[in-house]
Homo-oligomer: A and B are copies of this chain.
Amino acid sequence: MANCESLARQLGLKAVLIKDEGRNPTGSLKDRPSALLVIKAREAGARIITTASSGNAGGALAGVCASVGMKSVIFVPSSIPRAKLTQLQVYGSVVVAVEGSYDQTVELCMKAGRHFGWYQRSTGYNPYTREGKKTAALEIAEQLNWRPPDKVFVPMGDGNIASGIWKGFRDLMALGFIERSPRLIGVQAEGTSSIVDAVNGDGVVRESSGSTIAGGINVTRANDPTMAVRAIRESSGFGVKVSDEEIRTAILGLARSSGVFAEPAAAAAFAGLVKSCEAGLVKDGETVLVLITGTGLKDIEAPGKRLSEPLRVAPDLNELERRLGDEGIRR
């Protein structure tokens, strides 16, 4: 976990903590539930374990399965970023690329799991994903010497990270490890904001109809929304919606202030923090934590045209000096 002083100054907060789950073995928070789920699958005597995934859950399951010699069948939307697909292929999973949305991918995986009798890991179906994800909250509390931050920002697609993180803090309170829980701030993309809309509205989750560049949260029919709504409300938190442009800005803003290159879904949580500060929803002097749920190396197309082109030069100092001069760089 990094304590990012420049961000704290910039946003007028006491501390901005960045917990980078991109440093987990396969590059996302999903290593936590996948490790647990493979154990549960073994307990159940399963030979094949399956999941639907926008990429990270699949990559994590594939990696854990490879490390213990279990077979996996991973369902992903065919629009998955190249690095996420390659990771699945490298680990030797059977990869089913569904020509359809994430929701259709989930549906096909659920049907196939029942039909073939595979162990089903999918988020929102298997309750142990929440138990795996809650370990991030346990670790946050431990690393902060049992003094959790005031607010924790998490991205929401299915809502399972929100409900998992909340369960972790609740468990710690029940056990007396912490005295108060952080407020949970759930962030969604504008196009796929069913959980935030429910939190801000009547609490009932309705399917959303848009989409987002952030593959990890590009979910119109969320699979763990009710518990996510409850988690945010019980913790006295709130929901935030961010645009794809705010997500792209957040990728660069976070990387250039903290050194953490986040994938779009993870950067959405940071975008949510920036927006909440601007809206006065986070107070001066608060300590906030942003949960960065996956590495940007898995989705390198996302920053798009915002990146400066490199200076392409021949191996020649005179040419270099001229080109750098054009860019205003000297000594």
Contact = CB atoms under 8 A, between A and B. Distances in A.
Interface of A, secondary structure class, is: mixed
Q: How large is the interface on A (under 10, 10 to 19, 20 to 34, 35 or more residues)?
A: 35 or more
- Count identical subunits in the complex: 2
Contacts of A164: none
A86 B300 contact: yes
A245 interface: no
B116 A331 contact: yes
Contacts of A99: 312-315
A257 interface: yes
Interface of A: 2, 4, 6, 20, 23-27, 47-48, 63-64, 66-67, 69, 73, 76, 78, 82-83, 85-92, 94-100, 104-105, 107-108, 111-112, 115-118, 251-252, 255-261, 295-298, 300, 303, 307-308, 310-317, 320-321, 324, 327, 329-331
Given A97-B312, A108-B316, 15 more contacts: A23-B23, A27-B295, A27-B297, A64-B259, A66-B255, A66-B257, A87-B261, A87-B300, A90-B252, A92-B256, A94-B311, A99-B313, A99-B314, A108-B313, A297-B297
30 contacts: A6-B69, A23-B23, A25-B259, A26-B261, A27-B295, A66-B257, A67-B258, A76-B310, A78-B312, A82-B300, A83-B83, A86-B296, A87-B261, A87-B296, A87-B297, A89-B303, A90-B251, A90-B255, A90-B256, A90-B261, A91-B256, A95-B310, A95-B311, A100-B315, A104-B315, A108-B316, A115-B321, A116-B324, A118-B331, A297-B297
